[in-house]
Chain A
């Protein structure tokens, strides 16, 4: 962190006075880089893909401004999600994580881009592919991994698991496909009701997009002008079923019918950010809900029990990795405009790796929750109750 601040302050200083580079003291210089901060571009503008529009006269801008600071931050966060998911893969194969594990690698630009387009005081809800969002919404890698391994230091004390992680203004993590969408509209209703100019980002996948309850929700959200950004993360496959085999219309951004929609390149973090900002403005202006379809891709199968190659080719996966990887895209942008150095990014990689290793270490050594916790958290704000165990003589205690 200190190093990061040093880099940033150095860059700013360097930008202000080109000749002042020599004035920077030895102690603050990044050890690995032989270049000075004055060399780095403080910010650059990038062209981003035009979004397809539905019921909108104009869409998000086609250029995005990225500062060095932002770039490094997005890079770090995306890399953290990536490595965290890969570590989860490893732990799952070692049977240290069990049950469901739906990995998010490949889709990092969505979670990171969305978060940068809204405020921390806004709200967000998603389905079960939720580890990335738990992180961007304030969870730590440690508590996420410990939840996956079912330990007491987990974000839900080990009682929720992969699909049930929560933070402030983040409502999980939901296991029932599509059920989170009405919930999200309900959160948006609460935002409007309480008059705090907040909104709710409500995510679902291409598989869920055909759920009836989502159309029920579109109707009510539009009717009552709820400040809800519906976001369909279209990763082209609902478990093993490709979008063409599941949907009569794969234009998910149009499926909201009377709700305006945007189709966004979900592999480009800047495109996602700009679209989210655009959508947020729409909601905050009181115009009601809006729909975003993020075209993205998951490298892993649906879950850890799906190798992910029976319904798609390895060539397809490889092609996306080489041509559209969100982290690579950002990296190239930053390097090509001299916003960062290769070594600097490598160093971030090293730091991220370490953070993940430490978290994994914690997640594998932290003890499981104590048995006394078994029956707790049935009711909130209630006196303790007795819960029946597996047999009539087993009377267990439950506290709020």
Chain B
């Protein structure tokens, strides 16, 4: 396993060099794939590869998925493997966990993670804790996936980010992909993982196309859970983010670069277990850290990063306190102007970077 991971890592760094070169010219072996299609590919490949994998959730089969992520799968795999459920989250999440205990590998879709609150007992008490409580007798290889965080105009009950909630709990792995490559590689890894994985997608990213290399398009492309990725190198300040806000960070970095500020942008990819080492190494180089997330500030991802940096070796390298850019500490409003001002914008990131660098 370790050798596969390191082989992938070296292959990937080789590929990323190639891709960067290609972006300046005309892409050949790689192609543009939306996050939605990448997720679809991942599930299709894993369903094909392993008989025990199946998908259940509301509208996943005949409707092709509420957000069309599972398009075509029911047609290809049928009723046995792609199961439409009634609107009973607690029930079907429990059924997914029970099926995992008895030897299958279910993918349980929550139409959005807001609805997972109805089923959260099954995720935490039945899935996450069981391997420990049974002292290793009962593994639970289940994936809970679906869109997380804010969408557009769906207001308070449909816009919450659950990253911090799930990442709080031992026994769970919590993954938050950003682009298509992340989506595909991480979902495949999550499905192959023998443990409960909470896979936080983002609805606003579903339709966004990204370059995917030939390697990323292959059937055995995996991204290891627990490893962050440096999306952009820089020397002056480190920006750490996950999911959609990686885009915001890269956009902010591009603008700041024109002013001579070089940001290093880290895409967490996995929230739990968090790759603190990558953050620390970066901070030891840049001496400044800003975290960016869509979720609320209190007890959130950024709060955890601050605590970990304080407790580790990187603290001594900080030239300024770590700052967090987060969603506003309110339930999500509906009106567009209010909604826009409830979430981090690129200008907020730029403002915070400059404050941190005292420029």
Contacts and interface: CB of A to CB of B under 8 A. Distances in A.
Q: Place the interface of chain B in its size category.
A: 35 or more
Contact of A179 (B94, B132, B312): B94
Nearest to A212: B90
B171 interface: yes
Interface string A183-200: 111111111011000001
Contacts of B141: 380
Contacts of B130: 172
B125 interface: yes
A121 interface: no
Contacts of A175: 125
Interface in B161-196: 170-171, 173, 194-195
B90 A216 contact: yes
Given A193-B99, A220-B91, A380 B194 contact: yes
Given A220-B91, A379-B131, A186 B194 contact: no
B98 A185 contact: yes
Contact of A182 (B98, B131, B133, B194): B98
Contacts of A380: 131, 136, 139, 141, 194-195
Contact of B2 (A217, A378, A383): A383
Contacts of B133: 156, 159-160, 164, 172
Contacts of B97: 182-183, 186
B273 A385 contact: yes
Interface in B98-135: 98-104, 106, 121-122, 125-126, 130-135
B102 A379 contact: no
Given A174-B126, A179-B126, A377 B132 contact: yes
A330 interface: no
B24 interface: no
A166 interface: yes
A213 interface: yes
Interface string B57-98: 000000000000000000000001001011010111111111
Contacts of A217: 91, 94-95
B95 A377 contact: no
Contacts of A176: 121, 125-126
Nearest to A168: B137
A188 to B, nearest CB: 8
Contacts of A189: 95, 98-99, 104
Contacts of A379: 131, 171, 173, 194-195
A357 B121 CA distance: 38
A164 B135 CA distance: 10
B343 to A, nearest CB: 31
Given A176-B126, A219-B91, A191 B102 contact: yes
B311 interface: yes
B98 A220 contact: no
B1 interface: yes
B138 interface: yes
Interface in B211-264: none
A377 B132 CA distance: 5
Contacts of B138: 166, 171-172
A171 B136 contact: no
Interface residues of A, number: 50
A94 interface: no
The interface centre, meaning the residue of B85, B88, B93, B98 with most chain A CB atoms within 10 A of its CB, is B98
B206 interface: no
B186 to A, nearest CB: 16
Contacts of B90: 182, 212-213, 216
Given A193-B104, A382-B195, A383-B1, A186 B54 contact: no
Nearest to B225: A382
A179 B96 CA distance: 12
A166 B134 contact: yes
Given A172-B138, A191-B102, 20 more contacts: A157-B135, A158-B135, A167-B137, A179-B125, A181-B94, A182-B94, A182-B95, A182-B98, A187-B99, A187-B102, A193-B99, A194-B104, A212-B90, A217-B95, A220-B95, A378-B132, A378-B170, A381-B194, A382-B194, A382-B195
Interface of A: 123, 125, 156-160, 164, 166-167, 171-172, 174-176, 179, 181-191, 193-194, 200, 212-213, 216-217, 219-220, 223-224, 376-383, 385, 387, 392, 400
The 7 closest A-B pairs by CB, nearest first: A186-B98, A182-B94, A216-B91, A190-B102, A183-B98, A157-B135, A216-B88
29 contacts: A158-B135, A159-B132, A160-B134, A164-B134, A171-B98, A172-B134, A179-B94, A182-B97, A182-B122, A183-B94, A183-B97, A183-B126, A186-B100, A187-B99, A187-B101, A189-B95, A190-B98, A194-B104, A200-B98, A200-B102, A213-B91, A220-B92, A223-B86, A377-B134, A378-B170, A379-B131, A380-B195, A382-B194, A383-B2
